[in-house]
Amino acid sequence: MIIIQIVNHPKTEIDMARATALEKSRSHDRIVHQASLLFRENGIEATGLSEIMTAAGLTHGGFYRHFKSKHALVAAALTHAITAAVSDMAEAETAADKRAALGRYVALYLSPEHVQNRAQGCPLAAMQSELAHQPPELQKPLEDGVAHVLTVLAAAIGGSAPSPKAQALLAHLMGAVSLARLSPPNVETETFLQAARKTAAEIIA
Amino acid sequence: MIIIQIVNHPKTEIDMARATALEKSRSHDRIVHQASLLFRENGIEATGLSEIMTAAGLTHGGFYRHFKSKHALVAAALTHAITAAVSDMAEAETAADKRAALGRYVALYLSPEHVQNRAQGCPLAAMQSELAHQPPELQKPLEDGVAHVLTVLAAAIGGSAPSPKAQALLAHLMGAVSLARLSPPNVETETFLQAARKTAAEIIA
DNA sequence: TCATTTAGATGATTCTTGTCATCTAAATAA
DNA sequence: TTATTTAGATGACAAGAATCATCTAAATGA
């Protein structure tokens, strides 16, 4: 009741719009977030819209209030995931001891946890081959995202893009996690990741 | 007419069976080969059975004379592609100068041609993320294939599996080609591949 | 109070899959 | 000749997808 009274109180135009707009914005964010998890976990094509909407607590029909197509959602989810990944790296870029921070990031990337946690891990490693088959309108967000990651890595290493070292490092990180995911989880995994960390350190040096 | 006469001539049982069996075997091989190309080029899920059968010069309905399901074809196509890739490497394993032969293989893998030629290139690099989502019955052929590749690489380097060097090398190769394919083709590609070749050489050394 | 807007739900559509029963044409065997 | 086998073709089917028109319930504004 109190809520209703409050709602009925006069508000500024911005406030009035904000109430519903906020709801929609929250739904929007939930859809994007769940999509980014499911795409990484099960693949883009293998994930249906209804699965995503259900995960977001909605039904499939409401989807087109938020996106004009599945492709548009893929773009949003990809950008979302890359942005999150870059902000993980941002620490390495701004930290006092860049090298130490970068080392911590590399150790996190080349950890067994990351190998197992595909849904919350690096979107490039998780969706690599599928990303190459996306339609042209997705290529630009993708290429921009890759370029962004490379810029941040280059800065953390101590140079500026285009940096062959940053490229070699990213390639090595992605390849190592991908290969680890193609092999059965066993005791060798850790020694393999150790070898990958060693190589990564040599690339940075 | 002559042909008919020849056909009507008595043959041994083996010969008689061989004529049709050979036809079927050839169709079978064409299906597997075209599938392995299309899966790498456009993705496994994105490639329909009718597309594959048309590419093999047949119609979609005949498919189930050769395979019990699409999954069975995926397994056959994957094994086919990995076997072909390994035989490319075999030279490096048996050559007099193993290191030089391995160097040639690495140069070929990290070439612009391989980056562009996804359909005929390394199946692991081409289908990476999709392979991880395949059903359990495909995991064993896949893991065996990866293990086989690693064994051959380890032998070429001069050790035996499990070899952290071979693992790090394969990871770097796969990652470099994948990353190159995620970026727009431009002049930087060659300098990036150059950096990747340098790192590969350091891993082997 | 009543009219308008809109986020989300329902349900239908259209398309594409993988799958399979059935038909054909040719080759083999009797 | 006639019967049998079978690789491949035809066509249908069910399941699942993306998409979208329409309905609903609630909130806004007059």
CB contact under 8 A, B170 and A162: no
CB contact under 8 A, A129 and B128: yes
Task: Give CA–CA dist A119/B96, Å, rounded.
Answer: 46
Of B106, B76, B80, B82, the C-alpha closest to B166 is B106
Task: Give CA–CA dist A142/A75, Å, rounded.
Answer: 8
CB contact under 8 A, B168 and A143: no
pLDDT tens digits for range A89-148 = 877 677 778 888 899 999 999 999 999 999 999 999 999 999 999 988 889 999 999 999
Average pLDDT of chain B?
86
- SS3 per residue for chain A: CHHHHHHHCCCCHHHHHHHHHHHHHHHHHHHHHHHHHHHHHHCCCCCCHHHHHHHCCCCHHHHHHCCCCHHHHHHHHHHHHHHHHHHHHHHHHHCCCHHHHHHHHHHHHCCHHHHHCCCCCCHHHHHHHHHCCCCHHHHHHHHHHHHHHHHHHHHHHCCCCCCHHHHHHHHHHHHHHHHHHHCCCCCHHHHHHHHHHHHHHHHHC
Residue with the two structure tokens 């140069």: B107
- SS3 per residue for chain B: CHHHHHHHCCCCHHHHHHHHHHHHHHHHHHHHHHHHHHHHHHCCCCCCHHHHHHHCCCCHHHHHHCCCCHHHHHHHHHHHHHHHHHHHHHHHHHCCCHHHHHHHHHHHHCCHHHHHCCCCCCHHHHHHHHHCCCCHHHHHHHHHHHHHHHHHHHHHHCCCCCCHHHHHHHHHHHHHHHHHHHCCCCCHHHHHHHHHHHHHHHHHC
Name chain A contacts of B121, Cβ cutoff 8 Å. Answer: none
What pLDDT is attached to residue B20?
67
Name chain B contacts of A178, Cβ cutoff 8 Å. Answer: 128-129, 171, 174-175, 178
* Cα–Cα–Cα angle for A85, A90, A95, rounded to 5 degrees: 150
Of A107, A17, A30, the C-alpha closest to A66 is A30
CB contact under 8 A, B199 and A139: no
Residue with the two structure tokens 């960390």: A197
* Cα–Cα–Cα angle for B129, B131, B135, rounded to 5 degrees: 130
What pLDDT is attached to residue B144?
94
Range in B99-103, B108-112, B127-131 with the lowest mean pLDDT:
B99-103
pTM value surpassing 0.75: yes
Residues 6 or more apart whose Cβ sits within 8 Å of residue B98: B92, B155, B156, B157, B158
CB contact under 8 A, B43 and A130: yes
Measured in angstroms, what separates residue B23's CA from nucleotide C25's C1'? 15
Q: What is the mean pLDDT of residues B142-157?
A: 93
Task: Give CA–CA dist A131/A71, Å, rounded.
Answer: 12
Residue with the two structure tokens 């135009």: A13
Q: How far is A56 from chain B (nearest CA, A)?
A: 22
Burial class from Cβ neighbours inside 10 Å (0-12, 13-18, 19+) for residue B152 reads buried
φ, ψ of residue A130 to 5 degrees: the values are -70, -35
Q: Is residue A162 reached through a cis peptide bond, with omega within 30 degrees of 0 on the bond before it?
A: yes
Nearest nucleotide (CA of B31 to C1'): D8
Q: Residue-wise pLDDT tens for chain A (205 aa)?
A: 222 232 333 333 334 444 466 677 788 999 999 999 999 999 999 999 999 999 999 888 889 989 999 999 999 999 999 999 998 887 767 777 888 889 999 999 999 999 999 999 999 999 999 999 998 888 999 999 999 999 999 999 988 878 999 999 999 999 999 999 999 888 889 999 999 999 999 999 8
pLDDT tens digits for range B19-43 = 466 777 888 999 999 999 999 999 9
What pLDDT is attached to residue A60?
87
Name chain A contacts of B123, Cβ cutoff 8 Å. Answer: none
pLDDT reading at B3 higher than 60: no
Task: Cite residues whose beta carbon is less than 7 Å from strand D.
Answer: A 7-8, 11, 13, 16-17, 19-20, 47-51, 60-61, 63-64, 68-71; B 20-21, 23-24, 26-28, 53, 58-62, 65-66
Name chain B contacts of A202, Cβ cutoff 8 Å. Answer: 199, 202
Of A100, A121, A103, the C-alpha closest to A112 is A121
Nearest-CA residue of chain B relative to A125? B129
Contact present, B195 and A145 (Cβ < 8 Å): no
Residues 6 or more apart whose Cβ sits within 8 Å of residue B12: none
Buried b (16+ CB within 10 A) or exposed e, B19-57: eeeeeeeebeebbbbbbbbbbbbbbbbebebeebbebbe
CB nearest B179 (choices: A133, A167, A191)? A167
